[in-house]
């Protein structure tokens, strides 16, 4: 732990903006196979600030995804309230979350992530604020018990939405055809920007390095915040363990706490985040302060690289790469490391640390040479490991600078034509495919993927971009139950940055 960094993080005051929002409409939840994962929302009537008679279950649609606190007024008619009213609330980012049934819980994460509330109201009329912060667009209300003759009236239903980004939406892309993607990307970022960059405001609300790196990039082209990024980077640097390892994730509350997960790829991306911050802010002093922490991650990594430039496989969950258990990890890890070494080399050079800059470049070349010598299948024209070809591995070798642009373009074409190439399963890795197309100047392909992937998510009902999305497998979940997935996830909000950087230059 480094208390100086933690203190600095603590001194950065993050102000949350607030906005009061009423529902757009009163709806019913419809189960039908035509809807994505079998659940849809049908408007009954616009909300218009009216009183709503609760007659059986009801659902409010707030028109878009928000993160905040729900409150309402409740009164009874036709009969006095002679017994408590018992109500159940269920919140959903996407309609199919309403498919969750207690007892049917095949996932391996805690089901306390499902956002529900059962409350008792003793005296009517009452003003009620539910106790927790929720991430949602829809809320379903069920009357579980009450005096049978008394009818309930809901009034002034509202959410106090919160975000560090604020609620003044301004489109940043120029072209109309990207406007929907702009809106959804910005909303995703907005709702993940709280007192730290959360990975998902529904789940898991931690700050993860792989995620913040991408969120911060989008922030630089939209909100242009500096303080939240600085606070988060200080937190990571402050929470290194005794060996100087940057945690892959951390908790901000009750007091900043190391998440006790250490992943080589995420730890090296700390340098990428520092470099991006530098490019945006020009703040050398801050980078100087955090450079040693960032570079130490590489020094640790060098120890698992062989003389031939091969990354040695490790026990346990030692790098993330993607939520794909069948993908071998060492080659992907080597590629990501080589990619990150570019940032280490440049950051070191910028700060006048020539020895480290040279060392970083030496290792980058070693890794690139090792991969080309031992893992390039010249028949297939792609990198492969243990007979497995993946986009994941290949794109990072392109980004690492292991191949020339022409070779890179050929690799991308070979992957497109290959029936065996494993596709990523998260927008996190799709981001890096897009980035590869971008650096190779393959604008058409990039635009196609933008619409085939993020555009497709919007067609499936995304109002904010999702944590995981696998075309053709709507139930896909890294956690074995898609209701546990986060539907507003930091690492998915990058299209807006990609469009601005590569498609609208
Ligand atoms: C999950 C989250 C997070 C990601 C890690 C690896 O818990 O989705 O965003 O960074 O996995």
The confidence score (pLDDT) of residue 51 equals 82
Q: Is the CB of 435 under 6 A from ligand 1?
A: no
Nearest CA owner, ligand 1 atom 8: 467
Nearest CA owner, ligand 1 atom 5: 208
Q: How far is the CA of 15 from the centre of ligand 1 (A)?
A: 25
Structure tokens at 415: 């992957």
Distances in whole angstroms, Cα of residue 176 to Cα of each of 186, 212, 464, 504: 15, 28, 19, 12
Preceding omega of 125 cis (within 30 degrees of 0): yes
Beta strands 58-77; 85-92: pairing state: unpaired
Q: Is the CB of 210 under 6 A from ligand 1?
A: yes
197 vs 205: CA distance, rounded Å: 8
Q: How far is the CA of 248 from the centre of ligand 1 (A)?
A: 9
354 vs 358: CA distance, rounded Å: 6
Q: What is the DSSP letter of 167?
A: S
The confidence score (pLDDT) of residue 504 equals 92
Element spanning 300, H or E:
helix 284-302
Q: Is the CB of 454 under 6 A from ligand 1?
A: no
Of ligand 1's listed atoms, the one at least distance from the Cα of 491 is: 9
Q: Are 91 and 142 in contact (CB under 8 A)?
A: no
The confidence score (pLDDT) of residue 153 equals 93
423 vs 388: CA distance, rounded Å: 11
Nearest CA owner, ligand 1 atom 6: 320
Q: How far is the CA of 208 from the centre of ligand 1 (A)?
A: 7
Q: Are 196 and 227 in contact (CB under 8 A)?
A: no
Q: How far is the CA of 461 from the centre of ligand 1 (A)?
A: 22
Distances in whole angstroms, Cα of residue 12 to Cα of each of 5, 15, 222: 11, 10, 21
- Taking only the tens of pLDDT, the chain with its 505 residues reads 899 999 999 999 999 999 999 999 999 999 999 999 999 999 999 998 778 878 788 999 999 999 999 999 999 998 888 999 999 999 999 999 999 998 889 999 999 999 999 999 999 999 999 999 999 999 999 999 999 889 999 999 999 999 999 999 999 999 999 999 999 999 999 999 999 999 999 999 999 999 999 999 999 999 999 999 999 999 999 999 999 999 999 999 999 999 999 999 999 999 999 999 999 999 999 999 999 999 999 999 999 999 999 999 999 999 999 999 999 999 999 999 999 999 999 999 999 999 999 999 999 999 999 999 999 999 999 999 999 999 999 999 999 999 999 999 999 999 999 999 999 999 999 999 999 999 999 999 999 999 999 999 999 999 999 999 998 999 999 999 999 999 999 999 999 999 999 999 7
Distances in whole angstroms, Cα of residue 394 to Cα of each of 55, 314, 327, 378: 56, 21, 13, 13
379 vs 397: CA distance, rounded Å: 18
Nearest CA owner, ligand 1 atom 7: 204
Q: Is the CB of 211 under 6 A from ligand 1?
A: yes
Residue ranges and CATH numbers for the domains of the chain are 17-163 (2.60.120.260), 281-319+325-420 (1.50.10.10)
Nearest CA owner, ligand 1 atom 4: 208
Three-state SS for 87-144 is: EEEEEECCHHHHHCCCCCCCCCCCHHHCCEEEEEECCCCEEEECCCCEEEEEEEEEEE
Q: From the CB of residue 253, how many other CB atoms can be counted at a distance below 10 Å?
A: 9
Nearest CA owner, ligand 1 atom 1: 204
Q: Is the CB of 467 under 6 A from ligand 1?
A: yes
Q: How far is the CA of 259 from the centre of ligand 1 (A)?
A: 12
The confidence score (pLDDT) of residue 180 equals 97
Percent helix, percent strand, percent coil in the chain, to nearest 5? 40, 20, 35
Structure tokens at 125: 């009329």
Q: From the CB of residue 116, how many other CB atoms can be counted at a distance below 10 Å?
A: 15
Coil, strand or helix at 75: strand
Q: Is the CB of 93 under 6 A from ligand 1?
A: no
Q: Is the CB of 199 under 6 A from ligand 1?
A: yes
Q: How far is the CA of 251 from the centre of ligand 1 (A)?
A: 13
Coil, strand or helix at 145: strand
Q: How far is the CA of 433 from the centre of ligand 1 (A)?
A: 19
Q: How far is the CA of 62 from the centre of ligand 1 (A)?
A: 27
Q: What is the DSSP letter of 36?
A: G
Q: Is the CB of 478 under 6 A from ligand 1?
A: no
Of ligand 1's listed atoms, the one at least distance from the Cα of 208 is: 10
The confidence score (pLDDT) of residue 200 equals 98
Polymer length of the chain: 505
90 vs 88: CA distance, rounded Å: 7
Q: How far is the CA of 240 from the centre of ligand 1 (A)?
A: 19
**Residues with Cβ within 8 Å of residue 11, at least 6 apart in sequence:** none
DSSP-assigned beta bridge partners for residue 126: 74
DSSP-assigned beta bridge partners for residue 67: 135
Instruction: Identify which of 93, 206, 208, 250 to mutate to test ligand 1's pocket (most ligand atoms within 8 A of the CB).
Output: 208
Of ligand 1's listed atoms, the one at least distance from the Cα of 210 is: 10
Q: What is the DSSP letter of 13?
A: P
Of ligand 1's listed atoms, the one at least distance from the Cα of 249 is: 10
Q: Is the CB of 322 under 6 A from ligand 1?
A: no
DSSP-assigned beta bridge partners for residue 246: none
Q: Is the CB of 97 under 6 A from ligand 1?
A: no
Beta strands 388-389; 257-258: pairing state: unpaired
481 vs 503: CA distance, rounded Å: 36
74 vs 126: CA distance, rounded Å: 5
Q: Is the CB of 320 under 6 A from ligand 1?
A: yes
């Amino acid at each position: 732990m480094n208390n100086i960094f933690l203190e600095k993080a603590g001194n950065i005051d993050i102000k949350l903006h607030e906005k009061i929002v009423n529902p757009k409409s009163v709806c019913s939840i419809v189960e039908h196979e035509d809807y994505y994962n079998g659940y849809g929302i049908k408007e009954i009537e616009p909300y218009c600030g009216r009183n709503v008679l609760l007659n059986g279950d009801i659902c409010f649609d707030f028109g878009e995804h928000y993160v905040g606190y729900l409150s309402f007024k409740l009164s009874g008619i036709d009969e006095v309230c002679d017994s408590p009213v018992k109500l159940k609330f269920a919140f959903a980012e996407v309609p199919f979350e309403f498919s969750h049934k207690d007892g049917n819980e095949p996932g391996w994460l805690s089901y306390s992530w499902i956002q529900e509330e059962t409350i008792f109201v003793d005296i009517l009329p009452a003003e009620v604020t539910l106790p927790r912060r929720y991430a949602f667009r829809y809320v379903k209300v069920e009357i579980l018990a009450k005096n049978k003759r008394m009818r309930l009236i809901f009034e002034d239903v509202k959410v106090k939405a919160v975000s560090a980004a604020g609620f003044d939406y301004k489109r940043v892309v120029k072209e109309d055809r990207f406007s929907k993607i702009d809106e959804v990307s910005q909303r995703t970022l907005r709702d993940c920007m709280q007192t730290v960059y959360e990975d998902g405001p529904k789940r898991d609300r931690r700050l993860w390095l792989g995620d913040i790196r991408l969120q911060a990039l989008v922030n630089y082209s939209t909100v242009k915040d500096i303080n939240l990024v600085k606070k988060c980077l200080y937190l990571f640097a402050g929470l290194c363990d005794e060996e100087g390892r940057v945690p892959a994730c951390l908790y901000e509350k009750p007091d900043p706490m190391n998440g006790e997960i250490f992943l080589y790829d995420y730890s090296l991306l700390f340098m990428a985040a520092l470099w991006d911050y530098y490019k945006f802010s020009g703040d050398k002093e801050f980078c100087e302060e955090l450079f040693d922490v960032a570079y130490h991650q590489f020094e640790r990594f060098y120890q698992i690289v062989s003389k031939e430039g091969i990354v040695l496989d490790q026990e346990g969950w030692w790098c993330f790469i993607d939520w794909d258990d069948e993908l071998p990890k060492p080659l992907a890890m080597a590629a990501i490391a080589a990619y990150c070494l570019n940032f280490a080399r440049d950051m070191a050079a910028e700060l006048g640390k020539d020895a480290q800059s040279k060392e970083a470049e030496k290792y980058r070349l070693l890794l690139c040479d090792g991969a080309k010598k031992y893992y390039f299948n010249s028949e297939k024209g792609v990198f492969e490991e243990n007979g497995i070809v993946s986009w994941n591995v290949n794109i990072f070798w392109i980004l690492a600078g292991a191949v020339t642009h022409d070779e890179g373009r050929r690799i991308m074409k070979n992957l497109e034509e290959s029936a065996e190439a494993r596709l990523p399963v998260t927008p996190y890795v799709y981001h890096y495919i897009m980035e590869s197309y971008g650096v190779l100047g393959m604008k058409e392909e990039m635009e196609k993927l933008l619409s085939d992937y993020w555009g497709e998510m919007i067609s499936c009902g995304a109002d904010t971009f999702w944590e995981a999305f696998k075309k053709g497998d709507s139930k896909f979940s890294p956690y074995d139950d898609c209701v546990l997935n986060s539907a507003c996830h930091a690492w998915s909000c990058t299209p807006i940055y990609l469009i601005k950087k590569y498609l609208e230059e």
